């Protein structure tokens, strides 16, 4: 079985980050290991949440991993712990960016898939607690990734370009090519609006084929916490399951829209996020059909 490591925060209440990545990647047929970057009492849509930064604990976890050797202890001999994919999301500090690089070096060498969701900004501004120095650190990680999954705000920050709310698609492609030319691999840009204003999805740049593809779905009059985490988790899990980048992005786009549609009548969704759990059978059926085809 393939093994994916997800490196991001965990919220005790609310659907986002690791509480999304763990079930979705598992449902797509891979073991999902976790490396928490922070623990929150609830995700940040709640007021007065408690947070514990785990930057100081991560090196101790990595040291223990290096000492484990064989995981099964079944007489097969010593094996080095490694991952088929490492997917990083929210990182609490520049130091944690360096810790992700250490994981790549020690537990995820090539052909391990390195997926980076540079979760640091939205709606034209950085998340609270982040500075331009953090953007520079995150850019180093993005430029070393196989697949980067920025949203619109993050793409502008990573390319040092003034934010535009209604950027022309050709400008977005130019910025993606700029990021790729600096070292990034494939790039999946999320939060792209359709020309008619009634659709939303992703713009996919496949570095191997040098081709852009748009993956769009309906735009609903609702905003839910954690949908970006669902997208990146499904994208990663689908690629590890064998789907090529563009099909994985199309699946992720479709599943996020499907979950939003299923959640529109849920009065608690504003706080807890989309009800993706009951839609997991739909996701499994979709990825099975793609693999058969």
**pLDDT at residue 78 in the model:** 55
Note the pLDDT of residue 72.
46
Residue 188 φ/ψ, nearest 5 degrees: -115, 110
Residue 217 to residue 198: CA distance in whole angstroms = 9
What is the C-alpha to C-alpha distance for residues 243 and 260, in angstroms, rounded to an integer?
A: 23
How high is the pLDDT of residue 23? 97
Q: How does pLDDT run across 18-74, given as a tens digit for each residue? A: 999 999 999 999 999 999 999 988 887 777 888 899 999 999 999 999 887 645 444
282 close to 255: Cβ distance less than 8 angstroms: yes
pLDDT confidence of residue 251: 97
Question: In the prediction, which pLDDT does 239 show?
Answer: 97
DSSP state of 228: H
pTM of the model: 0.93
Name residues of the chain where pLDDT drops below 70: 69-79, 292-293
* Calpha distance 241→252 (Å, rounded): 13
Return the pLDDT at 167: 87
- How many other C-beta atoms lie within 10 A of the C-beta of residue 198? 11
CB–CB of 31/4 below 8 Å? yes
- What pLDDT is recorded for position 277? 94
């Amino acid at each position: 079985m393939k093994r994916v490591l997800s490196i991001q925060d965990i919220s005790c209440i609310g659907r986002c980050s690791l509480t999304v990545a763990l079930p979705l990647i598992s449902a797509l047929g891979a073991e999902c290991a976790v490396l928490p970057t922070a623990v929150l009492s609830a995700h940040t849509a709640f007021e007065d949440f408690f947070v514990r930064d785990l930057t100081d604990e991560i090196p101790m976890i990595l040291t223990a991993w290096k000492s484990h050797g064989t995981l099964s202890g079944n007489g097969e001999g010593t094996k080095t712990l490694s991952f088929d994919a490492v997917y990083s999301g929210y990182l609490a500090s520049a130091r944690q960016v360096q810790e992700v690089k250490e994981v790549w070096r020690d537990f995820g060498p090539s052909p391990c898939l390195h997926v980076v969701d540079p979760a640091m900004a939205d709606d034209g501004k950085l998340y609270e607690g982040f500075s331009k120095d953090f953007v520079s650190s995150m850019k180093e990680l993005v430029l070393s990734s196989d697949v980067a999954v920025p949203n619109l705000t993050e793409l502008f920050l990573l390319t040092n370009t003034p934010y535009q709310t209604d950027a022309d698609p050709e400008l977005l492609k130019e910025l993606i090519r700029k990021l790729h030319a600096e070292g990034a691999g494939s790039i999946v840009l999320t939060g792209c609006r359709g020309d008619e204003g009634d659709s939303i999805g992703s713009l996919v740049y496949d570095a191997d084929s040098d081709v852009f593809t748009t993956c769009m779905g309906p735009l609903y009059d609702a905003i839910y916490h954690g949908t970006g985490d669902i997208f990146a988790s499904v994208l990663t899990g689908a690629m590890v399951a064998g789907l090529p980048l563009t099909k994985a992005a199309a699946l992720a786009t479709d599943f996020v829209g499907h979950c939003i549609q299923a959640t529109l009548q849920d009065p608690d969704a504003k706080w807890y996020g989309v009800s993706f759990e009951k839609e997991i059978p739909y996701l499994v059926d979709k990825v099975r059909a793609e693999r058969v085809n």
